[in-house]
Amino acid sequence: MVRSDPATWAPERAQLRRLLDRVGKHRQRPDRKAVGWPSRGVLLGTSSRGSHEFPSRRGRNELPASFFATHVTSVLQTGNIAVTIRQSLRNKHGLGWGKPFEEIIMLRRLLPVTVAGLLAAGVLAGYNVVFAQEITSDAKELDQSANTIWMFGAFLVFFMQAGFAFLGAGLIRGKNTVNYMTKSFLDFAMASLSFWAFGFALMWGTSALGIAGTTNFFLTDAAKGQNYVDWVFQMVFAATAATIVAGAVAERTRTQAYLAYSFMIGAIIYPIYGHWVWGGGWLGADAGFLVRIGLPAAKDYAGSGVVHAVGGFVALAGAAVVGPRIGKYNADGSANTILGHNLPFVVIGTFILFFGWFGFNINTGDSIGLNAINTLLAGATGSVVAMYIVLVRTGKTDILVACNGALAGLVGITAPVAFVEPWSAVVIGAIAAPIMLASVSVIEKVFKIDDPVSAISVHGTTGLWGLLAVGIFANGNNGVSGLVAGNTLQIVSQLISMGVVLAWALGTGFALFLALKYGMGVRASREEELEGLDAPEHGLQAYPADAQVAGAGGGG
């Protein structure tokens, strides 16, 4: 008989929920697009940065309540809810689905004619409304859960700012600690504002010829809920790219010039290259330029290139334009070691950065466990290998080298993290360590560029290695295959992306810092540098001679 109380239809609800779960799994295939019903793959992040559709959640539509209401007649005629859903999706929504539903539920509830004639309109209408409401509610709950995870990942990446502040402050001299931490704090603030005003639109707006976005400046065109989540997540990535430069130009750069740089990297430098790779641009889009010429799209899952290589090579340009610190090089060109002042800061900062890296690399999706394992293994391997290389050379275990080795491994795995197996993550981390150490030596001794925290080598050089590693070690995970899987074309695309990011970051970096140098002045005076920038620029000291600390807004 027909059950007039919708609350008694629990078995059917359970079956329908299983059906929708099957829909989501079916939709995870790479050839499916994020339209219509919000797919499980989109909601859970499997079609995010790995397939370069992030943030594909914009434009998702919930299944309308009228979905069932318009098909009451079909239910009455067939008594088959599964057929109704299949026909609805195929005919009404044009999604071409059918077969996945044929083996799921076949509820042959043939309605007695007498009951159908009297009760069908009222009972089934109420039943459909309840189901539509429950489906909409389930979709919203799933969407909210996914957004919560995205936001948590964003907060982890945001906390990395503290790691950069501790690490960099520990690696420089105490007389510049306030200056460095001021820059680390304010570059985040400046990049956030510029990314809100211009960067997000250039990166994620409607693409113009695959070069840059053209809509949603100042978030004016945002879908109020969803794009806000996407903006927060992308903003902390932009801030990370900005703060990488702070260490390379530390101890001799004027604060005002540095803040002007921070605004520009958040507004233009990071977003435009990000658009090329993640935002539907010519380099990383599934229908972009590389694909049109017969190559696969360039892949960068979490930012070895977009974030770290961009930040690292802009840092190289900045350090080259600003010049070395006083006393770094002798008249014969040999380099002197200028030690940092606080080793515990360095270790604490590294731990914070390692922790925050899970926000970079994991987030959501079916590969969340794999991403976590690969992140851990690459970072750990980089640390151990770097430490043993120096141990063999000097007979000492150097914690500073171990920390930078861990960061090099993390940068190296950031691009391929969702595309490789754990053994590959170990190899990637192991190779990242000597690449970083060799780069430090070349930057300092060959190019005569003074980088107090090795930001160029840790982020720039190993960022390039991360891009290349995708083309070598990707084994088919998330639809990306490299040499180990027999695909020789992916490495070509990765080499192109390496050349592009190098040219873009160095070109824009040199242009920006030269403009600052001749426009407003970028370097502190000799007297200020010798005294330390804390007192001349801020009127504060991190370690005053007496125990009493007095400052604006402070007690004591």
Per-residue pLDDT of 154-185, as tens digits, reads: 999 999 999 999 999 999 999 999 999 999 99
Q: Are 474 and 505 members of one domain?
A: yes
What's the CA gap between 5 and 210, in Å, rounded?
54
pLDDT digits (tens, 9 = 90+) for 267-316: 999 999 999 999 999 999 988 999 999 999 999 999 999 999 999 999 99
Residue 327 domain-assigned? yes
Inter-residue contact 497 to 298 (CB < 8 Å): yes
Global confidence as pTM: 0.76
Q: How many alpha carbons lie under 13 Å from residue 483 in its C-beta half-sphere? A: 11
Burial of 393 per CB tally in 10 Å (0-12, 13-18, 19+): exposed
What's the CA gap between 194 and 192, in Å, rounded?
6
What's the CA gap between 38 and 264, in Å, rounded?
35
Q: Are 132 and 160 members of one domain?
A: no
Q: Are 344 and 487 members of one domain?
A: yes
Residue 321 domain-assigned? yes
Inter-residue contact 321 to 245 (CB < 8 Å): no
Q: Are 127 and 175 members of one domain?
A: no
What angle is formed at CA 168 by the lines to CA 165 and CA 172, rounded to 5 degrees?
Answer: 135
Q: How many domains does the chain have?
A: 2
Tokens 């501790």 appear where?
Answer: 166
Last residue of a domain, one of 123, 142, 161: 142
Inter-residue contact 184 to 455 (CB < 8 Å): no
Retrieve residue 34's tokens: 């994020």
Last residue of a domain, one of 107, 142, 177: 142
Residue 553 domain-assigned? no
Q: Are 121 and 154 members of one domain?
A: no
Q: Are 111 and 182 members of one domain?
A: no
The CA distances from residue 200 to 32, 278, 335, in Å, are 26, 12, 41
Q: Residue 533: give its domain's CATH number.
A: 1.10.3430.10
Q: Are 460 and 334 members of one domain?
A: yes
Residue 556 domain-assigned? no
pLDDT at 363: 66
- Whose CA is closest to 139, among 66, 68, 70, 63? 63
Q: Are 534 and 389 members of one domain?
A: yes
Q: Are 111 and 166 members of one domain?
A: no
Residue 548 domain-assigned? no
Q: Where are the alpha helices (DSSP H) in 293-342?
A: 310-322
DSSP 466-483: HHHHHHHH-BSGGG-B-G
Residue-by-residue pLDDT tens, the chain, 556 positions: 333 344 444 554 555 455 455 544 444 444 443 333 333 333 333 333 444 333 333 333 334 444 434 443 344 344 444 333 334 443 433 444 444 443 333 333 434 443 444 444 454 445 555 555 555 666 666 667 678 888 899 999 999 999 999 999 999 999 999 999 999 999 999 999 999 999 999 999 999 999 999 999 999 876 666 678 889 999 999 999 999 999 999 999 999 999 999 999 999 999 999 999 999 999 999 889 999 999 999 999 999 999 999 999 999 999 999 999 999 999 999 999 999 999 999 999 999 999 999 998 986 566 889 999 999 999 999 999 999 999 999 999 999 999 999 999 999 999 999 999 999 999 999 999 999 999 999 999 999 999 999 999 999 999 999 999 999 999 999 999 999 999 999 999 999 999 999 999 999 999 999 999 999 999 999 999 999 999 999 999 999 864 444 444 443 3
Q: Are 193 and 326 members of one domain?
A: yes
What's the CA gap between 234 and 228, in Å, rounded?
10
Residue 436 domain-assigned? yes
DSSP state of 523: B
Tokens 């309840």 appear where?
Answer: 130
- Whose CA is closest to 399, among 408, 412, 386? 386
Retrieve residue 174's tokens: 């105490």
Q: Are 163 and 135 members of one domain?
A: no
Inter-residue contact 60 to 235 (CB < 8 Å): no
What's the CA gap between 540 and 324, in Å, rounded?
24
Inter-residue contact 18 to 100 (CB < 8 Å): no
Residue 251 domain-assigned? yes
- Helical (H) or strand (E) element with 208: strand 207-208
Inter-residue contact 207 to 277 (CB < 8 Å): no
Burial of 391 per CB tally in 10 Å (0-12, 13-18, 19+): middle
Retrieve residue 32's tokens: 């499916």
Retrieve residue 238's tokens: 């932009």
Last residue of a domain, one of 142, 172, 205: 142
Q: Where are the alpha helices (DSSP H) in 28-80?
A: 40-43, 66-69, 72-78
Retrieve residue 362's tokens: 């994991």
Residue 174 has a CB neighbour count (10 Å cut-off) of 16
Residue 306 has a CB neighbour count (10 Å cut-off) of 32
Q: Which domain holds residue 239?
A: 143-538
Residue 1 domain-assigned? no
Q: Are 294 and 205 members of one domain?
A: yes
What's the CA gap between 500 and 146, in Å, rounded?
33
